[in-house]
Amino acid sequence: MTFEFDRDTLLEPRGDGRYDADLAPGWVVGGGVNGGYLLAMIGRAIAAELAAKAPAKAHQDPFSVSAHFTSAAVPGPAYVQTELVRSGGRFSTVQARLVQDVDGVPVPRIAAHGTYGDLDSAHDPASEAAAQALGIRLPAPVLPPPEECFESRDAPPEFKKIAPLLERFGTRFDPAYAMWSVGQPSRSGVIQGWFKLADERPLDPIALLMVLDALPPVTFDLGLPGWAPTLELTAHVRAKPAPGWVVVRHATRTVAGGLFEEDCEVWDSTGRLVAQSRQLALQPRPV
Amino acid sequence: MTFEFDRDTLLEPRGDGRYDADLAPGWVVGGGVNGGYLLAMIGRAIAAELAAKAPAKAHQDPFSVSAHFTSAAVPGPAYVQTELVRSGGRFSTVQARLVQDVDGVPVPRIAAHGTYGDLDSAHDPASEAAAQALGIRLPAPVLPPPEECFESRDAPPEFKKIAPLLERFGTRFDPAYAMWSVGQPSRSGVIQGWFKLADERPLDPIALLMVLDALPPVTFDLGLPGWAPTLELTAHVRAKPAPGWVVVRHATRTVAGGLFEEDCEVWDSTGRLVAQSRQLALQPRPV
């Protein structure tokens, strides 16, 4: 069987660093295509370009991907134009731009860079022992078990109609920060829960790029349910995830000047921090 | 009088988006040229390119600059090659690459994107009133007054010889997290203090890009005093700083897998958060 995520991020190499894509309608949410899905598409193109241009190095894992969102993508044909910036011993950096043609004019949707390497060989044993002794490790939040959380697929049909994205996920929201769904936001600026893909597709480093922008904006929990367009999002993948549920936490600490930053962390089923991101997004207008 | 920062980030436009620079030896620290100084150089080139290509829009303030560090820069000639990605109504995005020629071969030092706009007109009054009512604002840490902090220019001469950068700054370190200077790191993973430029050059949004990477790596406070090369750093400028000292705080929450993330926040003299960043850096090897 082919999982939805793999089918919908399929790329066709066209030479000269170009990879053709088809943005699937199933990843639409409100006014555009989900940013995490687009980030994973870019992440896959970067891995493909590195496999083509520097195959001996096996730099297939994203360590950092930074993306500037320049216009809203729409479902349909798109392409990722990549260019190898530099391939070093431990890391390689690729520039990647997601583009859609509009009336024959190429319109950039996302301008990105990715620095890739090999997550399995990123550290030496002495450094890892020193790091473990330090004990500087952000712990996962304690959540109620998944069966006591709110399931996103239980959303009302009229909401799912404008957010088909919800059908892709098996998200279970922590009820403590999910009461915005019944008009009672906690006003903490936090959204967290358990996450998996609806069709149980296992998560890997590329899929984590998608997980980092899979939940609704934290402004929902602040009583601002509007569209919160991302200006920029940078993802850091810290380790390969173990099988099973991941825990995802989003929080903002500063809403000011028309903008807010949203930090996201992802822990795997062993409690290890596997990915984190920060995005700068536009504050939704009050309704 | 010309301030050091302005003199040392001077750019000469060469057409086709290229800006020639000269990396000044005064910004060297240990094995390379300070990353914040290079980020400000790139930030200035992006502003110059936007002034040239989209002058009517007045998008002169960096909102987000993300930079992937691909090799260590050295003092001497360099250039920033820019390319306008997209100029929209509120924001414009530019790609910028800092390059140095090595034996006639162009070697990329930093691959970056910047999204710029106008910090004075980024928000409407209704949104700002809503944001103020929410009260989601990260407060500055409480520090001892500057005269009770450790002054970086008091470092021993043999240290300043390998870190001429220290002469540029008037940093005053909070003693609670500065005992690494006498071999007693707090092991909290925090470094914070007051910051100004040594020659009192006022801070502005471009200079804040430099401030975000001006202090030593937080790994100093973890008993790991080695070189901590940055893989990637993303800066968000949230407001124009008021005159006077700024407070700068660096912290890490996860040292693992050979890497650590370092978050930085900068508050101005009114207590407003004016800039923040996160970088992913290589964990120094234990000594």
CATH number of the structural domain spanning residue A197: 2.40.160.210
Query: CA of B80 to nearest chain A CA: how many angstroms apart?
Result: 14
Other residues' Cβ atoms within 10 Å of the Cβ of residue B10: 14
Query: What are the DSSP E strand ranges found in chain A?
Result: 12-15, 18-23, 28-29, 32-33, 61-69, 76-87, 92-102, 105-117, 150-151, 172-173, 190-195, 230-237, 246-251, 255-256, 259-267, 273-282
Domain that holds residue B173: 4-119+144-282
For chain A, the first-to-last Cα distance in angstroms comes to: 44
pLDDT at A269 over 90: yes
Range scoring the smallest mean pLDDT among A114-123, A168-177, B122-131, B214-223? B122-131
Residue B187 lies in a domain: yes
Could A111 and B238 be called an inter-chain contact, meaning their C-beta atoms sit closer than 8 Å?
no
B241-267 residue pLDDT tens = 999 999 999 999 999 999 999 999 999
Could B111 and A93 be called an inter-chain contact, meaning their C-beta atoms sit closer than 8 Å?
yes
Residue A144 lies in a domain: no
Residues facing A79 on adjacent strands = A20, A99
* pLDDT at residue A280, rounded to an integer: 98
Domain end among A118, A143, A161: A118
B187-200 residue pLDDT tens = 999 999 999 999 99
Q: Mean pLDDT score of chain B, rounded to an integer?
A: 95
Chain B CB contacts of A255 under 8 Å are 131, 134, 136-137
* pLDDT at residue A89, rounded to an integer: 94
Flag whether residue B255 sits within 8 Å of chain A, measured between CB atoms: yes
Provide the ipTM. Answer: 0.97
* pLDDT at residue B231, rounded to an integer: 98
* pLDDT at residue B1, rounded to an integer: 77
Residues A10 and A99 in one domain: yes
Residue carrying structure tokens 């390689």: A92
Residue carrying structure tokens 């059908």: A167
* pLDDT at residue A155, rounded to an integer: 76
Query: CA of A4 to nearest chain B CA: how many angstroms apart?
Result: 30
Could A136 and B255 be called an inter-chain contact, meaning their C-beta atoms sit closer than 8 Å?
yes
Chain A CB contacts of B261 under 8 Å are 236, 276
pLDDT at B159 over 80: no
Nearest residue on chain A to B273, alpha-carbon basis: A254
In contact, B53 and B95? CB cutoff 8 Å? no
pLDDT at B153 over 90: no
Could A66 and B66 be called an inter-chain contact, meaning their C-beta atoms sit closer than 8 Å?
yes
Q: Count how many residues are written for chain B.
A: 287
pLDDT at B158 over 80: no
Residue A123 lies in a domain: no
Q: What percent of chain A has pLDDT over 70?
A: 99
Chain B CB contacts of A111 under 8 Å are 85-86, 93, 95, 113
The shortest CB-CB distance from B222 to any of A63, A134, A187 is to A134
For the residues B266-287, what does the mean pLDDT come to?
94
From chain B residues 2-61, the ones with a CB under 8 A of any chain A CB are none
What separation in angstroms does the CA of B205 have from each of A203, B2, B118, B177, B242? 39, 18, 11, 27, 11
In contact, A69 and A233? CB cutoff 8 Å? yes
Query: Rounded to an integer, what distance in angstroms lies between the CA atom of residue A158 and that of residue B139?
Result: 40
Residue A133 lies in a domain: no
The burial of B135, by beta-carbon neighbours within 10 Å (0-12 exposed, 13-18 middle, 19 or more buried), is given as exposed
If you count residue pairs, one on A and one on B, with CB atoms under 8 Å apart, how many are there?
Answer: 209
Other residues' Cβ atoms within 10 Å of the Cβ of residue A171: 24
Residues A95 and A29 in one domain: yes
- H or E segment and range at residue B44: helix B35-53
A19-28 residue pLDDT tens = 999 999 999 9
Residue A141 is which amino acid? P
Flag whether residue B258 sits within 8 Å of chain A, measured between CB atoms: yes
For chain B, the first-to-last Cα distance in angstroms comes to: 44
pLDDT at B160 over 90: no
Confidence bin at A287 (pLDDT 50/70/90):
low
Query: Rounded to an integer, what distance in angstroms lies between the CA atom of residue B29 and that of residue B66?
Result: 21
Could B254 and A276 be called an inter-chain contact, meaning their C-beta atoms sit closer than 8 Å?
yes
pLDDT at A81 over 70: yes
Q: What percent of chain B has pLDDT over 90?
A: 87
Flag whether residue B233 sits within 8 Å of chain A, measured between CB atoms: no
Going by C-alpha positions, the residue among B287, B275, B260 that lies closest to residue B36 is B275
Buried b (16+ CB within 10 A) or exposed e, B97-132: bbbbeeeeeebbbbbbbbbbbebeebbeeebbebbe
The burial of A55, by beta-carbon neighbours within 10 Å (0-12 exposed, 13-18 middle, 19 or more buried), is given as exposed
pLDDT at B206 over 90: yes
What separation in angstroms does the CA of B280 have from each of B69, B138, B179? 10, 22, 24
pLDDT at B154 over 90: no
In contact, B193 and B170? CB cutoff 8 Å? no
B231-244 residue pLDDT tens = 999 999 999 999 99
Residue A201 lies in a domain: yes
Strand pairing category for A273-282 and A230-237: antiparallel
Chain A CB contacts of B278 under 8 Å are 234, 236, 278
From chain B residues 127-156, the ones with a CB under 8 A of any chain A CB are 127-128, 130-131, 134, 136-138
Residue B128 lies in a domain: no
Confidence bin at B126 (pLDDT 50/70/90):
confident
Query: Rounded to an integer, what distance in angstroms lies between the CA atom of residue A142 and that of residue A192?
Result: 10
* pLDDT at residue B45, rounded to an integer: 98
For the residues B169-178, what does the mean pLDDT come to?
96
Residue A215 lies in a domain: yes
Range scoring the smallest mean pLDDT among A279-283, B57-61, B81-85, B163-167? B163-167
Domain end among A80, A96, A118: A118
pLDDT at A162 over 90: no
Query: Encoding tokens for residue B93?
Result: 């995005």
For the residues A132-159, what does the mean pLDDT come to?
90
Could B127 and A285 be called an inter-chain contact, meaning their C-beta atoms sit closer than 8 Å?
yes
Chain B CB contacts of A127 under 8 Å are 258, 283, 285-286
Q: How many domains does chain A have?
A: 2
In contact, B116 and B47? CB cutoff 8 Å? yes
Range scoring the smallest mean pLDDT among A141-150, A266-275, B90-99, B153-162? B153-162
Q: Count how many residues are written for chain A.
A: 287
- Cα A76 to the chain's mean position, in Å? 20
Residues facing A256 on adjacent strands = A259
From chain A residues 88-117, the ones with a CB under 8 A of any chain B CB are 88, 91, 93, 95, 97, 107-108, 111-115
Residue A135 lies in a domain: no
* pLDDT at residue B31, rounded to an integer: 74
* pLDDT at residue B287, rounded to an integer: 67
